[in-house]
Amino acid sequence: MPQLSQSPTDPAFVQDPYPFYAAARARGDLHFWKDYGMVAAFSHEAVQTLLKDRRFGREVPPERAQAVPDHLAPWQAVEAHSMLELEPPRHTRLRSLVLRAFTSRAIAALAADLEALCHQLIDRFPDAPFDLLDAYCTQVPVVTICRLLGVPEAMAPKLLDWSHAMVAMYQANRTRRTEEDAARASADFTAFLRDYIEQRRADPREDLITRLIAAEEDGTRLDADELIATCILLLNAGHEATVHALGNGVKTLLETGTGRDALQSDRIDRTVEEILRFDPPLHMFTRYAYEDATVLGHDFRRGDEVALLLGAANRDPAIWPEAERFDPAREIRTNSAFGGGLHFCVGAPLARLEMRIALPILFDRCPGLHLAAPPAYSDSYHFHGLTALMVET
């Protein structure tokens, strides 16, 4: 198997990882990425095959499990009950409960409030150059997920701080300070939710937390730790990826000059899917082999870890002609932005709804929107999002 070297914190790679992906993919589906010490899947076929192969999963095999340092105990306490890190039967139980509460009707009911929120945020835009990430792309998803869950919107800034600290644990530039910040945020987040869930038990509302509590009590299917971990996962995942999907999307629409035309009602679905394909907010997910398995000619051994490169799969020319070109009129074909298989993103319908509403309103209300400074991506691989998006209206 070919071996490749590419630091995920190299500045050139951070700003544009796609040439590395293209060169690797042209040489084959699977390569050993020396910087990560594992096999990586670069093609659409390889990524989708491994996402759907039940011989691979997220949960760490017992023989690969390592003792968690004491300073990371609060973070690990949340991770241990997160359905993102679990496999059946625990994953099945948690996901089915969330899907019962996270219904398509509940998501569709958010549309009117989402539209009003977008207009309110735009009304506050300053005349001088400003950061659209802070003023719009972050606010739309974080306020929406707060409303869906039933968490006070006034808590949004604190929730963002906690979320950023926790998800930084997955970044390539993780340090001891990263770990300490994540542990502190996990402890604070857990304490807040434990108290807030008790408030909701005493005062039920029409929100997702209340529905999760009710499901727990009716079927004794969620214990308190699982309920807290599920709320944290939904809050974190409910805005982290969408912030960057919106930010990357606005950047692409402005740089390609395709904005308002591509966002008309008869074109919006294709444009949203093309944004997610072309520059997705998450570029890597890992899996473990649960048994010896041969996939696309490579022999995996039980316990092997494999990196699934979602960003590389999304630009596979075997699936999308001229894959390196942004084409909002492109016919929709399933991409890997939201993963696949059992762990396909629960929040994908909400993320798509937010993009379908927030992007057209932004470009309609701000026809003169343009970049005020060249955008730069954050050194946060395997996440792929901007540090800021400075614009003028």
Q: What is the DSSP string of 286-300?
A: EEEESS-EEETTEEE
What pLDDT score does 214 carry? 82
Please give the mean pLDDT across all residues of the chain.
93
Backbone angles phi, psi at 374, to 5 degrees: -65, 125
223 against 331, higher pLDDT: 331
pLDDT per position as a tens digit, 229-271:
988 998 888 778 899 999 999 999 999 999 888 999 999 999 9
Output the CATH code of domain 3-392. Answer: 1.10.630.10
pLDDT (mean) for 282-295: 96
Report the alpha-carbon angle 13-16-17, nearest 5: 60
Q: Is the pLDDT of residue 152 over 70?
A: yes
The pLDDT confidence band at residue 222, using thresholds 50, 70 and 90, is confident
Q: Is the pLDDT of residue 216 over 70?
A: no
Q: Is the pLDDT of residue 105 over 90?
A: no
pLDDT per position as a tens digit, 180-209:
999 999 999 999 999 999 999 899 988 888
What pLDDT score does 241 carry? 87
106 against 114, higher pLDDT: 114
C-alpha torsion sign, points 133, 134, 136, 140: positive
210 against 292, higher pLDDT: 292
In the chain, % of residues over pLDDT 90: 74
In the chain, % of residues over pLDDT 70: 98
What pLDDT score does 99 carry? 83
Q: What is the model's pTM?
A: 0.93
pLDDT per position as a tens digit, 76-100:
999 999 988 999 988 988 888 888 7
pLDDT per position as a tens digit, 345-354:
988 999 999 9
pLDDT (mean) for 138-149: 91
Q: State which amino acid sits at residue 386.
A: L
pLDDT per position as a tens digit, 25-55:
999 999 999 999 999 999 999 999 999 999 9
Structure tokens at 43: 């093609």
324 against 100, higher pLDDT: 324
What pLDDT score does 389 carry? 98
Classify each residue of 204-214 as buried b or exposed e, where b means 16 or more C-beta atoms within 10 Å of its C-beta.
Answer: eeebbbbbbbe
What pLDDT score does 98 carry? 83
d(C-alpha 42, C-alpha 30), whole Å: 6
H/E element, 308? strand 305-309
What pLDDT score does 89 carry? 87
Q: Is the pLDDT of residue 218 over 60?
A: no
What pLDDT score does 148 carry? 86
What pLDDT score does 217 carry? 52
Q: Is the pLDDT of residue 136 over 60?
A: yes
**Would you say 101 and 327 are in contact if contact means Cβ atoms under 8 Å apart?**
no
269 against 147, higher pLDDT: 269
What pLDDT score does 220 carry? 59
d(C-alpha 248, C-alpha 254), whole Å: 10
